[in-house]
Structure 1
Amino acid sequence: MTDTAARDDPNIVLFVMDTMRAGETVPADPALTPNLAALAESGAEYTSAFATAPWTLPSHVSMFTGTYPSKHGAHADHTYFDGSLPTIVDAFADAGYETAGVSNNVWITDEFGLTDGFDVFRDDSERTDAWSGAGPLGHRATNAVRRSRLGGPTFERLRRLVTVGGEPDDGAAATVDWVADWLDGRDSDDPFFLFANCIEPHLEYRPPASYAREFLPEGWSYDRALALRQDPREYDVGLFDYTDEEWAVVRALYRAEISYLDAQVGRLRAVLEAAGEWTDTLFVAVSDHGENVGEHGFLGHQYSLYDTVLQVPLVVHGGAFSASHVRTDRLVQVADLAPTLLDAAGIDAPDLRSASQALSFHPTGGVDPRSQVIAEYMRPQPAIEVLEEKFDHVPQQLYDYQRTLRAVRTDAYKFVRAADGTEWLYDVRGDPGERNDISAANPRRTAELAATLDEWLGSFDEADTDGSVDVSDATEDRLADLGYL
């Protein structure tokens, strides 16, 4: 049965499945993500959706503003959104919506400028404590050692022996519980805009044991799997590597995290149904970026603009999206959610639309599909100086990665250019793994896409990102857990 929004002003739920890449989830697989697949079956699924950046902060600000990182200015060169651009949160609040947010990711908190406009915002990012197996004091002490040169292999092995076991990743379940309580406590008939970020598929992969056991290869226990080292920065500098068998285990843990988070999508739907809000809700399930789990020699989502870190799942359920009931490969960006959600709610928000660089993909909007998507990676996080401070040896390739990357991708080709002038061209139809650079053999196509990128860069003023951003010790601890420090 297809649900359609009964009101002209539907509730909006924007549910971000942090670090969930397209490789495992596009199209939605009933075996791995049955709840996402059920939404797609009675809604709309976009199989060519791409992030504007390969990590959380810039991608979320793009989602909120409909702009790209170099315009909104929140990226690794300046890890703060200064509020100089209007956001969809402000637009919904101004239109009379009740606005609520909850985040498991420390980048999506007040400290980085992402909570303005919310009537209520729940910072649940401290649940990274669950990943370390320590309480707040032990958590901070652990990270102090990890960031220092004392935090070497022996310390990491000891830490894992102490902390494995149990069901460590519970942030998404707690988020759904909070939403249920929030809905139960509402005393307003106004529509609501609800944003939630759940971080489980992010490194370290520590899925609940009941999910992990469904995916682990034969002969691998849960404790043995979680004892594998997973610090992406230690991997980058060569302190450890995986055998083929161990890579299979790590990928199994990642898939288990996806399965667990999909179950929470189902729980959230059930919560909305129990509250009598589901029929009146437009539900968006999307990821902010993807992940490399061994592809291209990487662990995590730093240093590149491959499709593995840019292509994401996107399913929209409710209203015109359920009425259209499509699976489409039209090119879409996460930034396009800003005007699309405004169209779904019938909100003008002229200031936001004027500043936006995005295109609505609302089924009744009549906007022509994109011919291309753009992505930017302004600088690695952490900076090379942080790696030099922590590690005795930093490989030369990490110095080579200290550069801005920009990409333009059509449905057939991707062009990538680094700030040092290096260029790559990939045939994404014939070579979806982006293994073969064909720029030298295709100078005309390379030049055409380079000109397209230059024209795009010249179409707007880049943000002024002068000035440092200070964060608290507790935030540094949480960022260390995520591999950013």
Structure 2
Amino acid sequence: MNDRPNILWITTDQQRFDTIGAHGNPAINTPNLDRLAAGGMSFMQTYTQAPICTPSRASFMTGRYPASHHVHRNGNDHWPAAERILPAILKAGSDYTTGLIGKHHLSRSENRIELIPEDGYDVAELSDCWPIGRDHDVWMNETRGVEDPLALYPELLSKSPRDYGPGLPMEVQQSTWWAERASRFIEDHRDGPWFLNLNPVDPHPPFFPPKEFLDRYDPASMPLPLYRDSDVARQEAFREIDQQWKKIQDVRRYDPAEDIDQSGIPLEQRNLFDFPPDTYDARMVKACYYAMIEMVDDRIGAVLDALERSGQAENTIVIFTSDHGEMMGDHGMLYKGCRFFEGLVHVPLIIRWPGVSVPGSRTEALVELIDLAPTILDAAGVDIPRNMQGRSLAGILSGQTTTHKPHVVCEFNEALAGMPYQSHGTMVFDGRYKTCMYHDAGKAEIFDLATDPGEFDSLWGQEGFEKEQIRLMQQHIDAVMATSDAGIERTGMY
């Protein structure tokens, strides 16, 4: 037993908050996340700082809001020299051995293979959003006899005209690779404590789970997305706000008989959302997504088993979360973009801290992903930098407090390349009211999640709501302004 705990931080990619069986979803099978929840604390109101990969990851790895670290986009040319991420801070203040396995995605990818800054990792084994990547390539070649891993992906796509369906066999899935490498990292003998940043790339689209997992889900039994007929006109009103698009289905408004290739249509004219569930196989898409999550859950189980075998489980903090969610057809939208619906910005978070967290406990406290870095430093006994904007969750985990923050903030700033409008938006949620502002489009929404948890009826501009709207707008402005830090430390009077 080390005096300080080991730390295993698992971050999936694009996993919604409502995709864990123990958290109330009877349609999905997640036995290993369920056992993690049974042994720790579930944070039921956790929100990302950006609904897109890189700005979200930059935020939780620095403990700072995008307005302060300035990493707003996917595909950034470089990482800001002044920004230090968690493992670098941890290394500077302790003797932790640090490791990264999986996706990093803090700066530009070149030929889909990421460039890594000097970030404080003793061990780094990489993969990417595609079934290729530096160390994953080597593993595929050496252990699976695959000379050209990239060739597997076009072959898979050639068998499906859509971005979902049965995928590669489990033996060549990235999940098999990262579980094997993480287990080896955990079981290696070390004299001191360790920190492992484990980043699966799934369930990020395309949704291609192994057939053995997909066969466990009957599409006919899948619940349909949250959708009402009023969503058609509603999304048309938001047409000039960027939303990621990929070919997923037959869209009635264009051609009911064939898959639609929109590559020749100008971006501003494409159908970027407005996908009613009856215009595509919404249940099959969800079955594929859930099957991918169960696949990830299965391999997380293998990593947790490695902790048990090595005798380190009782001295290891395990954190499970995701960088952002997935619309999964809600309100006629798929994937992600400049919107702030629950499916996209609300993420899962489970923390098992033996001897500190109460097994099987839950909290409804408002939490942000930027709170994870200071929590980890707190647990490791390392000073939290003064410019870190997140707040440690140790008090909630130990039961010393039940509240955390009055509101959470999320933003989107020109985050996706190739989009026609390069949208800017911000969200503030106080536990009841969610305000969403689209700053260059003249649009706004307010949802009361206490009475409208599906976010169908915006209260913006509604008669009789004027006074409350003014109060919420003031709260929104104050919260967004507070995400920019004070800058250089003041040491003089003038």
Fold match by TM threshold 0.5: yes
Q: Secondary structure at the match of 2:434?
A: strand
For residue 295 of structure 1, report the CA deviation from its aligned partner.
1.1
2:23 matched residue in structure 1? 27
Distance in structure 1 (CA, Å) of the matches to 2:162 and 2:477: 48
Distance in structure 2 (CA, Å) of the matches to 1:244 and 1:463: 49
Q: Is the 8 A contact 1:46 1:314 kept in 2?
A: yes
- The counterpart of 2:9, out of the listed 14, 22, 25, is 14
| 1:458 is the counterpart of 2:457 | no
Distance in structure 1 (CA, Å) of the matches to 2:129 and 2:74: 24
For residue 370 of structure 1, report the CA deviation from its aligned partner.
1.0
| 1:67 is the counterpart of 2:53 | no
| 1:38 is the counterpart of 2:35 | yes
Q: Is the 8 A contact 2:72 2:415 kept in 1?
A: no
Distance in structure 2 (CA, Å) of the matches to 1:178 and 1:229: 36
- The counterpart of 1:262, out of the listed 271, 275, 297, is 297
Distance in structure 1 (CA, Å) of the matches to 2:484 and 2:444: 24
For residue 276 of structure 1, report the CA deviation from its aligned partner.
2.2
Distance in structure 2 (CA, Å) of the matches to 1:445 and 1:290: 29
Q: Is the 8 A contact 1:99 1:194 kept in 2?
A: yes
For residue 102 of structure 1, report the CA deviation from its aligned partner.
1.0
| 1:303 is the counterpart of 2:331 | no
- The counterpart of 1:410, out of the listed 430, 444, 449, is 430
| 1:135 is the counterpart of 2:148 | yes
Query: Root-mean-square deviation (CA), in Å?
Result: 3.6
2:457 counterpart letter in structure 1: N
1:361 counterpart letter in structure 2: L
Q: Is the 8 A contact 2:168 2:209 kept in 1?
A: no
Aligned residues: 420
Q: Which runs of 5+ in 1 are unaligned?
A: 1-5, 144-154, 221-226, 386-398, 465-485
- The counterpart of 1:58, out of the listed 26, 36, 55, is 55
Q: Secondary structure at the match of 2:365?
A: coil
Distance in structure 1 (CA, Å) of the matches to 2:337 and 2:128: 21
Distance in structure 1 (CA, Å) of the matches to 2:331 and 2:200: 26
For residue 440 of structure 1, report the CA deviation from its aligned partner.
1.1
| 1:435 is the counterpart of 2:456 | yes
Q: Is the 8 A contact 2:114 2:128 kept in 1?
A: no
Q: Deviations over 1:428-485 (max 9, x none)?
A: 1111121111021222222222222322343364799xxxxxxxxxxxxxxxxxxxxx
Q: Secondary structure at the match of 1:322?
A: coil
Identity %: 25
1:203 matched residue in structure 2? 205
Q: Which residues in structure 2 correspond to 1:309-388 (within 5 Å)?
A: 309-323=344-358, 325-349=360-384, 352=385, 354-362=386-394, 363-364=397-398, 368-384=403-419
For residue 112 of structure 1, report the CA deviation from its aligned partner.
5.4
Q: Is the 8 A contact 1:331 1:371 kept in 2?
A: yes
1:86 matched residue in structure 2? 84
Q: Which runs of 5+ in 2 are unaligned?
A: 137-145, 223-246, 251-258, 488-494
Distance in structure 2 (CA, Å) of the matches to 1:134 and 1:28: 43
Give the structure with the higher percent helix.
Answer: 1
2:98 matched residue in structure 1? 99
| 1:215 is the counterpart of 2:213 | no
Distance in structure 2 (CA, Å) of the matches to 1:167 and 1:58: 32
Q: Secondary structure at the match of 1:414?
A: strand
Q: Is the 8 A contact 1:343 1:365 kept in 2?
A: no
Q: Deviations over 1:293-338 (max 9, x none)?
A: 1112211012311111011111111234434652111111111111
* Deviating more after overlay: 455-464 vs 232-241: 232-241
Task: Output the TM-score relative to the length of structure 2.
Answer: 0.75
Q: Deviations over 1:77-115 (max 9, x none)?
A: 772432423332122212110000012465578945566
1:287 matched residue in structure 2? 322
| 1:444 is the counterpart of 2:444 | no
Distance in structure 1 (CA, Å) of the matches to 2:279 and 2:104: 30
Q: Deviations over 1:32-88 (max 9, x none)?
A: 211111111121111111111112111111111111112111122772432423332
Distance in structure 2 (CA, Å) of the matches to 1:175 and 1:90: 22
1:424 counterpart letter in structure 2: E
**Pair 116,39 (structure 1): closer, same or farther in 2 beyond 3 Å:** same
| 1:425 is the counterpart of 2:452 | no
Q: Secondary structure at the match of 1:270?
A: helix
Distance in structure 2 (CA, Å) of the matches to 1:425 and 1:232: 34
